[in-house]
Amino acid sequence: MLRFIIRRLVQMVGVLVVLSLLLFLWLRSLPGGTVSAILGERATPATRAAMEKAFGLDEPVWVQYGKFVGRVLQGDFGPSTSVLPGTDALDIFLQRFPATIELSFFAMLIAVALGIPMGYVAARRRASFLDNASVVFSLVGVAVPVFFLAFLLKYVFAIKLGWLPVSGRQDGSLDATRVTGFFVIDGLLTREFDASVNALKHLVLPAVALASIPFAVIFRITRASVLEVLDEDYIRTAESKGLTNRVIRGRHVLRNAMLPVTTTIGLQIGALLGGAVLTEAVFSWGGIGEALALSFSRRDYPVLQVIILAAAAVYVLVNLLVDIMYAVIDPRVRTR
Amino acid sequence: MTSTSTSPSTHPHGRTGSSEPLLSVRDLRVTFQRQGQEPFEAVQGVSFDVHPGQTVGLVGESGCGKSVTSLAIMGLLPARGNRVSGTVSYDGTDLLTLSDQQMRDKRGKDIAMVFQDPLSSLNPVIPIGLQVTEVLERHRGMSRKAATPVARDLLDRVGIPDPDRRLTDYPHQLSGGMRQRALIAIALACQPRLLIADEPTTALDVTIQAQILALLKELVQDTGTALVMITHDLGVVAGLCDEVNVLYGGRIVERGERHELFAQPRHPYTHGLLASIPRLDAPRGQRLTPIPGSVADNLPWTHACAFAPRCSQPIEVCTRVMPELVPHEGRPLRCHNPVEESR
């Protein structure tokens, strides 16, 4: 197992190297560019040239890439060019990363905590009213665009009803102590429990909006997977042993049905960033989703490179975790 | 000893048909009803008895209702989409009237089942040991710790080498024959009085088949377990069963003590089944005699003999009147024109 993990980590380095090259070339082949984004289209050639030289963009791409790799290996992704000019790109990323992780974590928690039980119950009561209602509910979850759902939730629960905060991660008036950057955890660590509660309230709406698609996908995969497992011969064997429903459900059905669900959860975590960009924008979340959108529109290459490479690294790590989980659940994978 | 008063039959250990049957199936009917489809009666009034320690075969080709019969006895038919009627009396209790919970208490403890495909019938993600001990935990109230040595002995008993290691192995780490042995160990864990084996050797190669059959025979003889053997393979029946019920189209068409049935099959279907078995003592180059057609050609039993379209010797009445299961030369037979020759 250890060899497997090490091999996967080495693979991850390879993935990141290839991705960094593709990303570097791709960003620089886009129409427009950092200079146009900052100076506008009407700047004189001389001003443009001066700024290009300042950012090192006048050199051949492969020279730029070589220097980039050299600096990155020392942990230096370069300063931001246009989002927060002069600020270290890695700092921008690190400062915003906990916000996105916190949001994503709660979104996935909601998606998993609702999707798996609902999928299981829907499968056990196949074609019942409950099943049909759940399927329709999940279809709505996939079909409604995330930004629209985010706006809708915000409008109804924050603006009209006033139950939950409109935007941000915490009320500034609390002046809560920062430890980890995860506001809920910070509140627990510093025993400022009202800060945790406040952060949780802020989390509800964006997390629900972001959870909609992963919930729907996890629900449907669980339902399909449980239906398939219920038809398996070994479930009939378990029934023939007279085992209680509880044992059959937990030990025989769910464990087998979780195999495809685990894979799905991993893939959904990887795909979460896309939804986070939209959700964070609606709720002024201050996470990397917002920074990604902003740095893209302003062609802030250093910030873009940090965020996208980090997202890729997270994706690979999550999938490594999924593979380990898979081996824990399924002995057939382990012995290979 | 059978539903009709006619069958003199022999039990192992020389007992005769005077004892109370352990399992008594009467007029069992199973109808499948799917939405938007005609109801289909898979089992159409099957009756048979199984006495303690006796081995009874249910024989027929795919679709004759033998597996559905066994699932109905076990209460393992899907909860919806079917209707079961008749009585399945086990030790004086009609199993069909029991609640789900009462049936759960019986399954695995009093009545156990061995299934056809040992790979798909074992849970792939649970170690063999736990798949055995969970039955003991459930019905014997044993802790897992206390059940483990019992499970080990069971694996040993069914001839699995190195049982200590096998306890922690998963199904995919066992060979096909070994898996079937494990399934048998699971079924016998609580020493049931009745064991139903549904094609237990079909998925195995021939040498392993013989081993598994020998094992089953030995186990039922040692423990006095009654065995219902469901098979399409008359070779299996020949080596194992005391009494044989031949099913066709959801009904029993012939019943008899093993030797009688093999020596003098009276139903053309039984005769055809026997003629289609390869024999070592047959002259070289002699071809096997298949039964023409398939079950799809069946006529409805209600006003004909279902087998008539495939029969080697049909007479006019066969397509008009349903034959009843009545004694013929002392054995129940459902045929207007029985085969008279001996084999």
Residues recorded for chain B:
343
Residue B129 has a pLDDT of 93
Pick the range with the lowest mean pLDDT from A96-100, A179-183, A299-303, B30-34: A179-183
Residues recorded for chain A:
336
The 10s digit of each residue's pLDDT in A45-54 is 888 888 878 7
Per-domain residue ranges for chain B? 121-191
pLDDT at residue B19 greater than cutoff 80? no
Q: Which residue of A has its CA nearest to B137?
A: A243
Nearest to B330 by CA among B254, B275, B262, B273: B254
The 10s digit of each residue's pLDDT in B191-233 is 899 999 998 888 778 888 888 888 888 888 888 899 999 998 8
The 10s digit of each residue's pLDDT in B224-244 is 899 999 998 888 888 889 999
Q: How confident is the model at residue B18 (pLDDT cuts 50, 70, 90)?
A: low
Smallest CA–CA distance, residue B200 to chain A, in Å, is 13
Cβ A287 vs Cβ A221: under 8 Å: no
Q: Which residue of A has its CA nearest to B190?
A: A241
Average pLDDT over residues B304-320: 88
Query: Going by C-beta distance under 8 Å and a sequence separation of 6 or more, which residues neighbour residue A104?
Result: A210, A269, A272, A276
Residue B11 has a pLDDT of 42
- What is the CB-side half-sphere exposure of residue A216 using CA atoms within 13 A? 18
Average pLDDT over residues A82-86: 80
Record: contact B135-A242, CB cut-off 8 A = yes
| pTM of the predicted model as reported, rounded to 2 decimal places | 0.80
Nearest to B138 among A241, A252, A335 (CB): A241
Query: Going by C-beta distance under 8 Å and a sequence separation of 6 or more, which residues neighbour residue B110?
Result: B90, B91, B192, B193, B194
* Residue pointed to by tokens 């012995």: A335
* Residue pointed to by tokens 């010797």: B313
Q: How confident is the model at residue B343 (pLDDT cuts 50, 70, 90)?
A: low
Tell me, rounded to whole angstroms, the distance of Cα B29 from its chain centroid.
16
Q: Give the helix ranges, DSSP H, for A56-88.
A: 61-72
Torsion sign over Cα B213, B217, B220, B226: positive
On chain B, the residues whose CB falls within 8 A of the CB of A243 are 104, 108, 134-135, 138
Does any CB of chain B come closer than 8 Å to the CB of residue A256?
yes
Nearest to A232 among B107, B120, B134 (CB): B120
On chain A, the residues whose CB falls within 8 A of the CB of B76 are 236, 239-240
Does any CB of chain B come closer than 8 Å to the CB of residue A255?
yes
The 10s digit of each residue's pLDDT in A255-293 is 899 999 998 998 888 888 778 888 888 888 888 888 888
What are the start-end ranges of the E strands in B175-287? 194-198, 226-231, 243-248, 251-257
Q: Give the helix ranges, DSSP H, for B85-162.
A: 100-106, 118-121, 128-140, 144-157
DSSP type of residue A309:
H
Ordered domains of chain A (ranges, CATH): 89-334 (1.10.3720.10)
Chain A interface, mutation test: which of B71, B120, B134, B138, most A Cβ atoms within 10 Å?
B134
Mapped onto helix, strand or coil, the DSSP state of residue A86 is: coil
Higher pLDDT, A175 or A146: A146
Residue B9 has a pLDDT of 43
On chain B, the residues whose CB falls within 8 A of the CB of A241 are 107-108, 112, 134-135, 138, 186
Record: contact B126-A239, CB cut-off 8 A = no
- Between helix B144-157 and helix B176-188 the angle, nearest 10°, is 120
Mapped onto helix, strand or coil, the DSSP state of residue B47 is: strand
Integer angstrom CA distances of residue B49 from B53, B245, B264, B269: 12, 10, 22, 22
Q: Give percent of chain B with pLDDT exceeding 90.
A: 44
Q: Give percent of chain A with pLDDT exceeding 90.
A: 17
Helix (H) or strand (E) holding B218: helix B206-223
Q: Give percent of chain A with pLDDT exceeding 70.
A: 99
The 10s digit of each residue's pLDDT in B257-284 is 988 888 888 999 998 888 877 777 777 7
Average pLDDT over residues B67-80: 89
The 10s digit of each residue's pLDDT in A54-69 is 777 778 888 888 888 8
Residue type, B305: C
Cβ B225 vs Cβ B215: under 8 Å: no
Record: contact B123-A233, CB cut-off 8 A = no
Helix (H) or strand (E) holding B29: strand B23-32
| Side-by-side strand order, sheet with B331-333 | B111-114, B194-198, B226-231, B55-59, B243-248, B251-257, B331-333, B326-328
Integer angstrom CA distances of residue A227 from A121, A126, A139, A256, A332: 10, 8, 18, 11, 21
Average pLDDT value over all residues in chain B: 86
Cβ A89 vs Cβ A306: under 8 Å: yes
Q: Give the helix ranges, DSSP H, for chain A.
A: 2-29, 34-39, 45-55, 61-72, 89-124, 129-143, 146-153, 183-189, 193-230, 233-240, 245-247, 255-282, 288-297, 301-329, 331-334
Cβ B184 vs Cβ B104: under 8 Å: no
Residue B293 has a pLDDT of 79
Does any CB of chain B come closer than 8 Å to the CB of residue A53?
no
